[in-house]
């Protein structure tokens, strides 16, 4: 596996590690703050933190902007991502965490990869092979095991089902974000974070939620910066290169981190089904790590703008001035047919 493919996979796994820490630490904060305010400060922390990072970045001497800006035709995807993943999903998750053990909730977050994959394939026609389908099926099966509650009249835990609903909303968010993943991820996550955080604060006020002291607010914002901000930036970088379904599948490793942290923080001993679900989910993640894909394919003529360089098979256009470094501008890809190993990145979203 070459370095060009390994690097986005590493980005996806690091994003998963950061996000995996969110559920147990958020549950810890829920003892001091109501669900809706917590969701709002998590996202405000991600947006404001990345905005400050971007401003500091631009103040550096010799700074050159190499990321593409979002255009008017792409705004709809950003708004949809803010509503589904920034406002609705975290609020649903925070309420669900009140009635769900943190270890179980952390593993259930694996279902986000299943939801993202199904939406990517069915709605956006992203191609995946039998190996990925099998991995998705394993993760889905493990998620179903974790939702089962023999003490409940209906057989399922309401709290666990709420976590699954949050995963579906994040799956919608991921696919909307996939459509703008070629643009500056810092700007995308900043807008999502601040927009979603402000909407959630308004909802918290109308709901009569209690707001905690400054120390708890800053703790929630710090958690949001790493688990929702920096994590999502890495997620977008990975999705740009390996597609929504594969990035989300790698993101399925996140709940394992959360589960181990839950053991440490809460001394929670999961039920018997947990021990059946864990190896099933691990098997699914391993299957995705070894996936390879290559065949003869046709690229139609395409004009778009994104960050790129000229040492690959797809960016052969010329410049008046010699450009060796990464840069961004509107450019045209002429029709070409060739064969090589690839993933559903921004240049390989063809159907099979």
pLDDT, one tens digit per residue, over 43-90 is 899 999 999 988 988 888 777 777 778 888 889 999 999 889 878 888
Give the model's pLDDT for residue 52.
93
Report field, pTM of the whole predicted structure over 0.85: no
Distance, CA of 45 to CA of 192 (rounded, Å):
11
What gap in Å lies between CA 208 and CA 221, rounded to an integer? 21
**Residue 51: predicted pLDDT:** 93
Q: Half-sphere exposure (CA, 13 Å, Cβ side) for 149? A: 15
pLDDT given at position 93:
82
Integer CA distances (angstroms), 317 to 213, 303, 331, 348, in order: 56, 12, 8, 18
CA distances from 67 to 1, 73, 97, 188, 298 (A): 27, 17, 37, 11, 27
Average pLDDT, the chain: 77
Q: Using an 8 Å Cβ cutoff, are 157 and 273 in contact?
A: no
Helices (H), the chain: 3-20, 22-29, 35-59, 75-81, 89-97, 102-108, 111-122, 130-147, 158-178, 185-206, 214-224, 231-250, 254-266, 272-289
Q: 10-residue block means of pLDDT along the chain (352 residues)?
A: 60 85 83 86 93 87 75 89 85 80 70 82 79 80 67 63 89 89 87 89 87 92 92 86 74 69 73 78 75 58 62 63 62 62 54 57
What integer pLDDT is reported at residue 2 of this predicted model? 44
């Amino acid at each position: 596996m070459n370095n060009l493919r390994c690097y986005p996979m590493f980005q996806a796994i690091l994003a998963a590690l950061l996000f995996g820490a969110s559920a147990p630490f958020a549950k810890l904060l829920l003892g001091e703050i109501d669900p809706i305010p917590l969701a709002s400060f998590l996202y405000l922390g991600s947006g404001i933190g990345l905005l400050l990072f971007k401003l500091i970045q631009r103040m550096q001497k010799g700074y050159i902007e190499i990321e593409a800006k979002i255009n008017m035709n792409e705004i709809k995807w950003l708004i949809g991502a803010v509503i589904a993943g920034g406002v609705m999903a975290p609020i649903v998750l925070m309420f669900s965490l009140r009635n769900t053990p943190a270890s179980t909730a952390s593993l259930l977050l694996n279902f986000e990869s299943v939801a993202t994959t199904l939406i990517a394939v069915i709605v956006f026609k992203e191609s995946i092979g039998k190996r990925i389908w099998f991995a998705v099926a394993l993760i889905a099966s493990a998620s179903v095991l974790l939702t089962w509650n023999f003490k409940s009249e209906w057989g399922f835990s309401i709290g666990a089902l709420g976590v699954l609903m949050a995963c579906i909303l994040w799956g919608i968010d991921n696919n909307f974000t996939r459509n703008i993943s070629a643009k500056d991820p810092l700007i995308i996550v900043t807008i999502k974070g601040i927009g979603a955080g402000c909407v959630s604060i308004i909802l918290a006020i109308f709901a009569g939620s209690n707001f905690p002291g400054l120390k708890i607010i800053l703790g929630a914002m710090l958690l949001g910066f790493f688990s929702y901000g920096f994590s999502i930036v890495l997620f977008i970088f990975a999705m740009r290169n390996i597609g929504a379904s594969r990035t989300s599948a790698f993101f399925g490793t996140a709940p394992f981190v959360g589960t181990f942290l839950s053991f440490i923080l809460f001394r929670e001993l999961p039920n018997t089904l947990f021990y059946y679900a864990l190896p099933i989910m691990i098997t699914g993640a391993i299957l995705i790590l070894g996936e390879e894909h290559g065949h003869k394919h046709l690229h139609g003529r395409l004009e778009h703008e994104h960050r790129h360089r000229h040492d690959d098979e797809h960016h052969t256009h010329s410049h008046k001035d010699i450009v060796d470094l990464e840069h961004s501008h509107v450019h045209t890809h002429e029709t070409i047919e060739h064969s090589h190993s690839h993933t559903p990145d921004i240049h390989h979203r063809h159907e099979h």
